Structure 1
Amino acid sequence: SNNLFNFNQGLKHGDVVGVWSTNSYNWVQIQYACFRLGLILSTVNPGYQVDELDYLLRRAQIKALFMPGADSKHNVVNKFQTVLTDVLIKDSQTDFTSNDGVLDQTLVDGVKPEDPAVIMFTSGTTGKPKGAYLSHFTAAYDVDLGDKTFCNPLPFFHAFGGMLGNLGMCGVPFKNVIPNFFYNVKLVVNAINKHQCTYLIGTPTMIIDILDYLETNNIKLDSLKGINTGGSSMPINVAHRVHKIIPTCTDVRVAYGATEAGELLSRGHNQMIGYWRDEKNTRAAIDSSNWYKSGDLATMDEHGYIKIVGRTKEMIIRGGENIYPREVEELLHKHPDILDAYVHHRTGEEVCAWIQPKDPNKKPTEAEIREFCKQRITYFKVPQYVLFVDKFPLTPAGKVKKFVMREQSCRILGDLATMNEQGYIKIIGRTKEMIIRGGENIYPREVEELLHKHPDILDAYVCGVPDDRLGEEVCAWIQPKDPNKKLTEAEIREFCKQRITYFKVPRYVLFVDSFPLTPAGKVKKFVMREQSCRILGLNEK
């Protein structure tokens, strides 16, 4: 803490400090130093690109940003060197353990329990991310005291890994094993055995992945006594599977957090203060009596036990009947040939199930899945659509992104559209125009909308062209605002690289004066593709 303060360049109590990095021990050092000095820690998703980073830095009013150095191994995750010019940058790989041990005690004494301690931004799946902030008292209240050796593979920029996982050392002797920069099942299992970890924290998706890895490779985890999971619901069958594959693991707990079940209201010391600099969303989430509206659906039995049954925004209303996805998911997990399953609603509020078979070579048929469900649940809850998948779209914290599932289901089933949590549909393109590059789906409209933000581009359209190695590549046709001030291909690609995922960046850029149009004025993309292949010397497929 003293070392951080010595080069603080004017940082003072209450200033916001950002950490933009994957997991490391230095991350934890910075976290503790900020808490001790009364600086507010704002965690930043290490996958953020320029536009996302720009929004967060300005929204949180970050005064200093810690990030990996130019030669850091963390750079395999992202290109960290592009940041805002007015932000003070410190190197998060600096060794903060080497200091003189002298600290002005008045700095520590000035930190009050009710002061803001940390800002953690939501995933932003339905709009701009909101920064939930916690006080020092809340952070300490959430600590799970116990003499344990924890394996913590969760991303630190999320509350589960960064708060519960990292702050346990505050109260008792506590070992926190960080197995990876970002989640890797092999590294997690190796770390548990190497360090004889007694507890593991992770999302249900991670736990299922670890169990599958152990079973496939016949590996034992004899030191493991317990698992703390959270982030989303965990089917009871997964808990039974834990005990079967890891007999020593008899303590399985599902944590309830602010982002996970009629609507459940809660109030207490472990609750966030509100959303940082966002009074509107704070009022929507917390009422005047300080009750937090969780958005979770729950039931309470006669003994006062609460059972989370789903999310209000995920509930499916089909023909006036309420369907809770979790109920159908719990049932699907009982099928002997299913490894994992998630359910969402599709256009018209029909039930769509995504299923990951235990054995890809022995997957059940759609008819068998529906018949399995018909014999066990009411007819209107039976999935009308069944899609078999190898994996699920996940957030960096390991939660399943159901909005992505809905989008992909629409595409697979003949629609190319997005649907928000209220069920409204947005058309994002045509199925015939979608580009599949190395197994990744690219929607031309997304790239086109980005290109239209470039100050020197008048109009732009994107099409797919054949590629022998990846199947398809992205080709952009660009009409400059000023023909005499033509941009270079490299400038266009660099503009895109800073704002979208690498595989969406155009491989080919063609500058044109006009586009091939139908009599109705629509762009003929099939002609663009043909002409692109001719110009680039590619074989049309």
Structure 2
Amino acid sequence: MDKNKNLMSVYELLKEASLKYGDQEVIYDLKQRFSYKQLKNDVDHLAGGLKSKGIDKGDRVAVSLPNWYENVVVLFAIAKIGAIVVPFSPKYKSFEVERILKNAEPKILIATEEFDHHVKFQKALTIVPEVITVRCVVEGLETYEDLMNTGMSAEEVTIDVNEDLFCLLYTSGTTGVPKGVMVPHRALVGNSACTVGSEINCNEEDVFLIAAPLFHIFGMAVNLFCAVATGARIVLIEKYHPELMLEMVQQEKVTIHSGVPTMFIKELEVEHFDSYDLSSLRAGIVGASPIPANKVKEIRDRFGMNLCQSFGITETCSVTITPYDDDEKSIIETLGKALPGVEIKIVDENRLQLPPGETGEIAIKGFGNMKGYYKMPEQTKAVTDDEGWYYSGDLGTMDENGYIRFIGRQKEMIIRGGLNIYPQEIEAVLTKHPKVMDVAIIGIPDEILGETVCAVLQLKEGKESSEEEIITYLRERIATHKLPSKVVFTMEFPVTASGKIQKMQLKERITSEITIG
């Protein structure tokens, strides 16, 4: 891939792709097919509409839309005029939305009818000066079509890709109150889209299947922008469904299938999985949350593709990837090595670098790093230093060759009677149990030991188990002090919009049930 793309803004990425691939298809949203030229034309019209509303460089524009074609147009149009996207899930509850809007202070909110189920448009207008509706009509509010038809033009503004922000991405809040991560253009284009695309050898012959939400860093950068950067075709999925994913791979000859672990695991469970023609698949990335080695191998084998693991977070975009042509053992068992332009070190509690093989906090330095948390200087200072390092709160190890292994979150670590227990280690064992679909290990309070281990399990459809069976299974595979003192079975987990299990919410629920019980 052309290294000059690393210096482009988000809009420049589309502009170049339109010149190079004009009449080629860029998006199929299961209803219509759009070319690169058509996408850029729509983006330019919407940019003019936004300009007519007084949106200038640096202004915030909140966007709460599903994976629709209009969402893609909105993202690139905002980028063209140098404004800042504030994307969030239409499924967020009232208090989540209000907090984001009050913190970001956007001039406009672009939303759809689904959003109105939780926060009425009129209520939003008490926080945001104007609301624009998409695929719905609300009396007194302008629509997406109104903006498209203003007839105004908008000049492309000059963007400093290192300094100017493309978006404020609000963290999902799995470990606390969401914070607005200030993400510059360079992080999304250079670090994630272009670098990751190069690492898995993407080109204009590829077809991306995108179900990861576009309001999340993984869906936006590693999927959408990566596809556009390489001139690829996109099959855009509004609502994830495992059967639909397999059908689209077969119908559209998808070559790149990236997603969170839960997506692949659900697809493997589809009845008659082996009857689908998945032979077009070439590669993909699994990321956004941990996945056991045995599951990586199963996905690679049964999908017949070169699935790579990647580690990245909102504050740093993509950090590592398992090299495309690496040996399978490294791809299955590690998160790979640092991407070009990224440095990683493992540090102790004093932020001193640890030798290879020792467990510590993962620290990251690179052009994908955020510019800080919006309006939160103290929180920014707590996780960064003057040399440009970001301290992730994630625990891991690095071997002599630079391969990273993820151990878990610092805040998720369980301390039982003074002994450190890493939930992911137990989770990795339980995912190999033939009856287990998904699992979360959490710490619950204990008067004597401080904390003990609780295993929360979701079983495969039609399967039954017991606490005794699970403990017996674990007793043969892990040390006694790591054994759960309690096993809870659940039909579903509380998850974020990107598919991560919300362990803090789960812990609160389980702890409350134990206390009441």
TM range (shorter): 0.7 to 0.9
Aligned residue number for residue 310 of structure 1:
408
| Structure 2 residue 444 is matched with structure 1 residue 387 | no
Kindly indicate whether residue 407 of structure 2 is the aligned counterpart of residue 320 of structure 1: no
Matched, 1:30 2:74: yes
Task: Quickly say closer, same or farther: Cα 1:337–1:215, change in 2 above 3 A.
Answer: farther
Alignment of 1:485-496 (within 5 A): none
For normalisation by structure 2, the TM-score amounts to: 0.73
Larger Rg: 1
CA deviation profile, 1:155-203 (whole Å, cap 9, x unmatched): 22111112222212442211222122x3332333333222221122221
Query: 1:164-183 alignment to 2 at 5 Å?
Result: 164-180=222-238, 182-183=239-240
Contact 2:169/2:314, CA 8 A, preserved across alignment: no
SS of residue in 2 equivalent to 1:347: strand
- 1:31-430 equivalence runs, <5 A: 31-68=75-112, 74=114, 81-82=121-122, 83-85=124-126, 86-93=128-135, 94=144, 105=155, 107-109=156-158, 112-141=161-190, 142-143=192-193, 144-145=196-197, 146-147=202-203, 148-180=206-238, 182-214=239-271, 218-246=275-303, 248-258=304-314, 262-348=360-446, 349-361=451-463, 363-412=464-513, 414-416=514-516
Q: Which amino acid aligns with 1:255?
A: F
Tell me if 1:2 matches 2:44.
Answer: yes
Give the conservation status (yes or no) of the 8 Å contact 2:64–2:115: no
Go from structure 1 to structure 2 and tell me whether the alpha carbon gap of 1:203 and 1:112 turns closer, same or farther (over 3 Å shift).
Answer: closer
Q: Cα RMSD over matched residues? A: 2.7
Q: Partners of 1:220 and 1:384 in 2: how far apart?
A: 44
Alpha carbons of 1:5 and 1:304: their partners in 2 closer, same or farther (altered >3 Å)? Answer: closer
Structure 2 alignment gaps of length 5 or more: 1-42, 136-143, 317-358
Percent of residue pairs bearing the same amino acid type: 30
Instruction: Please give the alpha-carbon distance, in whole angstroms, between the structure 2 residues aligned to 1:81 and 1:98.
Output: 21
CA contact (8 A) 2:47 2:78 kept: no
Task: Say if 1:284 and 1:375 are closer, same or farther in 2 by CA, change over 3 A.
Answer: same
1:395 Cα offset (Å): 1.0
Distance 1:47 1:262 in 2: 35
- 2:250–2:276 CA contact under 8 A, matched in 1: no
Q: Which amino acid aligns with 1:46?
A: P
SS in 2 for 1:415: helix
Task: Give, in angstroms, the shift of residue 214 of structure 1.
Answer: 5.0
Residue 115 of structure 1, CA deviation: 0.6
Following the alignment from structure 1 to structure 2, what is the Cα–Cα distance between the partners of residues 389 and 216?
25
Contact 2:296 2:307 (8 Å CA) reproduced: no
- Alpha carbons of structure 1 residues 243 and 97: separation in structure 2 relative to 1, 3 Å: farther
- Contact 1:203–1:229 at 8 Å: present in 2 too? yes
Quote the offset at 1:408 in angstroms: 2.8
Quickly say closer, same or farther: Cα 1:34–1:81, change in 2 above 3 A: same
Distance 1:317 1:112 in 2: 43
Q: Quick one: distance in 2 between partners of 1:381 and 1:333?
A: 16
- 1:264 shift after superposition: 0.9
- Please give the alpha-carbon distance, in whole angstroms, between the structure 2 residues aligned to 1:358 and 1:327: 21
* Cα deviation, residue 274, structure 1: 0.9
* 8 Å CA contact retained: 1:38, 1:111: no
Q: Compute the displacement of 1:96 (Å).
A: 9.8
**SS of 1:274 mapped into structure 2:** coil
Letter in 1 for 2:121: Q
Residue identity matched to 1:367 = E
Q: Which amino acid aligns with 1:63?
A: K
* Structure having the larger proportion of residues in helix: 2
Secondary structure at the residue paired with 2:515?
coil
Match of 1:17 in 2: 61
Seen in structure 2, the aligned counterparts of structure 1 residues 239 and 169 have a Cα distance that, compared at 3 Å, is closer
Alpha-carbon deviation of 1:409? 2.1
Decide whether aligned partners of structure 1 residues 396 and 326 sit closer, same or farther in structure 2, where only a CA change above 3 A counts. same
Q: How far apart, CA to CA, are the structure 1 residues paired with 2:502 and 2:61?
A: 29
> What TM-score, normalized by structure 1, do the two folds share?
0.70
Distance 2:80 2:224 in 1: 15
SS of the aligned residue for 1:62 comes to: coil
- Structure 1 residues 186 and 101: CA distance shift in structure 2, 3 A: farther
Q: 3-state SS of the aligned residue for 2:312?
A: coil
Letter in 1 for 2:212: L
Q: What number of residue pairs does the alignment pair up?
A: 408
* Greater relative CO, 1 or 2 (CA 8 Å, sep 6+): 2
Q: Is the 8 A contact 1:258 1:294 kept in 2?
A: no
- Alpha-carbon distance in 1 for matches of 2:184, 2:95: 28
Where does structure 1 lack aligned partners over 5 or more consecutive residues? 417-430, 432-541
Distance 2:315 2:489 in 1: 28
- Give the superposition deviation at 1:337: 2.8
CA change 1:410–1:113 in 2 (3 A) is closer
Equivalent residues of 2:467, 2:487 under 8 A apart: yes
Aligned-partner Cα distance in 1 for 2:444–2:275: 39
Is the contact made by 1:2 and 1:102 (CA closer than 8 Å) also made in structure 2? no
